[in-house]
Each structure stands twice: as structure tokens, then as C-alpha cells.
Amino acid sequence: MNTGTYFSGSFAMVMLLLSGCASDSDIAPISYQQQSAKPVVTYALSLQGAPYHYGSDNPQDGFDCSGFVYHVYQQQGINLPRTTEDMANQLTPVEKNALHSGDLVFFDTNGKTFSHVGLYINGDHFIHAPSARTGKVLVSSLKNNYWQQHFVGVRRP
């Protein structure tokens, strides 16, 4: 076995896991509270600050981006696909100018068309579990340059 190949492959896997769903440091959290929101949004907002954990979909262990969306909708009795790509492929596409609270917003954060997902709140804000770097579920703005540049679409559960 060539240990150099093993090491570089292991290193690449670790870097992939640590990169999570989003990969830019320009993802500043926004303090956000909403009155009289849809139950799905109210529940999602209650999870602000929950830890990021790649591959997880529960508040005890933490969430990755699709695990967060999956969990939030599951708590409302709505079963979604578990992965970002499956959500994007199986849910109904919606035009960005027709966004409603509770819609899913998708981004290309790593060269893969549907590599990150968040839940739209309103007023150009969405809640998501961006990455190990940010470390937690947070609210971001769709007006942020990073998210504008990486936005790829909307789906409605």
C-alpha cells in the first residue's frame, strides 16, 4: 500500500467533511426573530444556535444543511427527501420572485449545482446549517454577496 496515496486520500476526505455545506467565510449570522410566522418557520427559528454536524439530522447531535431542513419539516408531519440534491430534484420548482415563507432555497457552494439548502423565512432571510466553520444553525440574508453569487433556485415542499 502506498502510504502517500492513503494519506492524501484521507486528507481530502477530512477536508470534505470539515467543509460542510457552505464554504465561504462571508456568512455572517443575523440576529432574527419573527412574530406570527408559519409553524415550520417558527420551529426552524427555535433551533438557531444548534450545532453543525455533517450527516446529522437531529438537535441533540446537530445538523448539516439538508438534515436541518429534513428535521424541521418532519416535525411538522411533512416527509422530505434527506439529501439536498434529492430535495431539489423531487420538490416543485418556484420562481425566486414568488418566494413564500417555508420555501427551500438552494445554492451551489462547492461546484455541485445543489450542494446547500436553507429554509426561507421572509424579507430576504433564510435559516440554515451552513458549515463546520460557522458551527451552528443561523439566519443569513439572500442579499449577502456570497449567497447571491451561489443561489441556484427555490423549491416548495
Reported as a single tens digit per residue, the pLDDT across 78-135 is 999 999 999 999 999 999 999 999 999 999 999 999 999 999 999 999 999 999 999 9
Q: What DSSP assignment string belongs to the chain?
A: --HHHHHHHHHHHHHHHHH-S---S----B----SS--HHHHHHHHTTTPBB-TT-EETTTEE-HHHHHHHHHHTTT----SSHHHHHHHSEEE-GGG--TT-EEEE-SSSSSS-EEEEEEETTEEEE---TTT-B-EEEETTSHHHHHHEEEEEE-
Is 116 tagged catalytic?
yes
Domain at 3-156: CATH code? 3.90.1720.10
Q: Which of 21, 53, 71, 116 is catalytic?
A: 116
Q: What is the pTM of this model?
A: 0.80
pLDDT at 13 exceeding the cut of 80: no
- For the chain, domain boundaries: 3-156
Q: Which of 53, 125, 128, 150 is catalytic?
A: 128
Q: Which of 65, 71, 125, 150 is catalytic?
A: 65
Q: What DSSP assignment string belongs to 109-154?
A: SSSSSS-EEEEEEETTEEEE---TTT-B-EEEETTSHHHHHHEEEE
Confidence of residue 17 (pLDDT cuts 50, 70, 90): very low
* Contact predicate 118/22, CB 8 Å: no
Is 65 tagged catalytic?
yes
